[in-house]
Structure 1
Amino acid sequence: MKEASKAMYWREKQVLVTGGGSGIGREMVVQLHAMGAKVATATLDQGELDSLQAELTGGPGEFVPIQMDLTTDDAIDTLMQRLDEQDFSVEVLVNNAGTGLLGNHTELDTRSVRKALTLNIQVVTELASVVARRMIEAGVEGHILNVASIGGYVPVPKLAAYSGSKHYVIAFTHALADELAPHGIHVGMLCPGITRTKIYDAMGLSSDNHRRGSISSIADLFAMDAGQVARCGIRAIEKRQRVALPGFNKVIPASSLLPQQLVSRILQGVVGNRSSR
């Protein structure tokens, strides 16, 4: 799709990006806004929203900031109500909000794990359902892009819950895509590899002061820029791709041809005996 066509495609299109205050989500908000889209984002940090608002002021698109905790029981109903108040009808949903925890599963705080799984699984599932239902009722042939991960293709020790949640997103996306296809709603997924975002830091992979040979130093060799990944996600929507794998990550699904026990043991050798720094 040529640049002029892209701008025309996105102009005034109403896009909801969850977790759009930082990382890949923020980059998607900025890039879509620059092409004239009306972009809403829901995120917890008001400071991130204020920063985005200042950056986007005067741009060609519109920006609808929503500060809220998406993990509360009534979050999705509240979000849709606040969008209705703004006369905002979602034509494109980017299910981007998510987080991860690095560490031995038995040593992680169970409340933190529960919150991470709520964000990575329940919010993605429920929001896709509510938005798709509204699209069907309105006769909108829209798009849903779920942000998974290459971690969803492989079992990753010390990221067991995160990896498991992204396995879910991959299976959910494939199944939902075929369910919604008769309604003209396209469902796809973006599967980033290691990307420098807040999740990167939350999982203990920050490169600040890392030791040579640590997980951080290895991750830095392969980490991608959030802007590059965001562009890949936007192209996936434009081209109606089922699966978008940025850069060299295209080779990762081939690992499914190997026994998963073998893959897990290999990754345990890489991750298991190393520190996060």
Structure 2
Amino acid sequence: MRTAMVTGAGAGIGRETARLLAEGGYRVVVADINETAAQTVADEITAVGGHAYACLLDVASEAQWDKVAEWVHGEFGPAHVLVNNAGIMDTGGFVETSAAQWQRTVDIDLMSVIYGSRVFARQMIDAGIEGHIVNLSSGAAFFPARYIPAYAAAKAAVLMASQALRVELRPKGIGVTAICPGAIRTELLAHGTRAGLDAAEQEAWRTQLGKVQSLAFATPDKVARVVERSIRRNPAVVPVNPEAWIGYGLFRLSPGLVRAVGSVGSFDLADRLLPRIQPLLNRITK
């Protein structure tokens, strides 16, 4: 039986990806920093006849990656698929975002991909497995917006790292795909922080953004289907949703236009608009 490792699999895109891969016959390692959530997903999979195992993993820790990879190899043999899905999205301007917040974003959104890809690619190479690595980048990788510079920078690095890894692993028969979703109905924004706010303001901001993101047309299962298809077909880059495809095309054709569009949005604008649309959000999300 082939083994698939999915990070951030306790909720959202990771959860749906783990479930879909299990339906396709994979033994799935459900990895998450929230061990209870990981176990819940693993139980959901096994309850319908699938094979899944919960795993505690802080993706920002290289030592934990090494430990988990050793455990996976010891229990099941070398993994055939790695899906680097775990991530965070903090908001804040480039200057107002602290160095610590930048580092946190880089550690979780970028370095986790590097840690995981290195250790599991080595397993595949040593075992001669023609496996696949899927890295979740973002439509933000080609959209330099004023309010998510740290997230966009980290995801752009994930996109380039994936391409470099793809070039290196191609002679080994190992595929690498970067997935770039647009707006997806997850709790990514609700779990993030905004630079410069106190605790009460932070909670209010999360609640508002959570309601906004809940209005996204696409659901996590759409991205999961793209991930599963990418494992079979091995494309290099796959934007998800019309806005991601448009951004991908425009950034290649006219970077200046994309920068102009990205300069329109701001926190001042959001702070003015959110109170006005709050009654509508409450009715829609009720």
> Which TM-score tier does this pair reach, normalised by the shorter chain?
0.7 to 0.9
Map of 1:267 onto structure 2: 262
Q: Distance in 2 between matches of 1:179 and 1:222?
A: 36
In the alignment, structure 1 residue 37 sits paired with structure 2 residue 26 = yes
Map of 1:7 onto structure 2: none
For residue 238 of structure 1, the aligned residue among 213, 232, 236 is: 232
Q: CA deviation at 1:113?
A: 3.0
Q: CA deviation at 1:236?
A: 1.4
Q: Distance in 2 between matches of 1:215 and 1:22?
A: 15
The one-character-per-residue Cα deviations of 1:116-164 (angstroms, maximum 9, x if unpaired) are: 2111111111221221122111111110111100100121211001000
Q: CA deviation at 1:87?
A: 2.6
Q: CA deviation at 1:222?
A: 4.6
Q: Distance in 2 between matches of 1:220 and 1:73?
A: 33
Where do 1:1-277 residues align within 5 Å? 12-203=1-192, 210=208, 217=212, 222-248=216-242, 249-257=244-252, 259-275=254-270, 277=274
What secondary structure sits across from 1:173 in the alignment?
helix
Map of 1:4 onto structure 2: none
The one-character-per-residue Cα deviations of 1:244-271 (angstroms, maximum 9, x if unpaired) are: 2223132221122455454233222123
Q: CA RMSD in A?
A: 2.6
Structure 2: gaps (5+ residues): 195-203, 275-286
> Match for 1:120: what amino acid?
D
Q: 1:188 to 1:245 in 2, by over 3 A?
A: same
CA contact (8 A) 1:157 1:264 kept: no
Q: Would you identify which runs of 4 or more consecutive aligned residues in structure 1 move more than 4 Å?
A: 203-210, 214-217, 219-223
Q: 1:88 to 1:139 in 2, by over 3 A?
A: closer
How many corresponding residue pairs? 262
Q: 1:204 to 1:140 in 2, by over 3 A?
A: same
Q: Distance in 1 between matches of 2:161 and 2:75?
A: 30
* Identity, % of aligned positions: 26
Q: CA deviation at 1:70?
A: 2.0
The one-character-per-residue Cα deviations of 1:216-243 (angstroms, maximum 9, x if unpaired) are: 65x6665421111111111111111112
> Match for 1:231: what amino acid?
R
Map of 2:198 onto structure 1: none
CA contact (8 A) 2:192 2:206 kept: no
TM-score norm. by structure 2 comes to 0.82
Q: 1:107 to 1:231 in 2, by over 3 A?
A: same
Structure 1: gaps (5+ residues): 1-11
Q: Distance in 2 between matches of 1:271 and 1:229?
A: 28
> Match for 2:260: what amino acid?
R
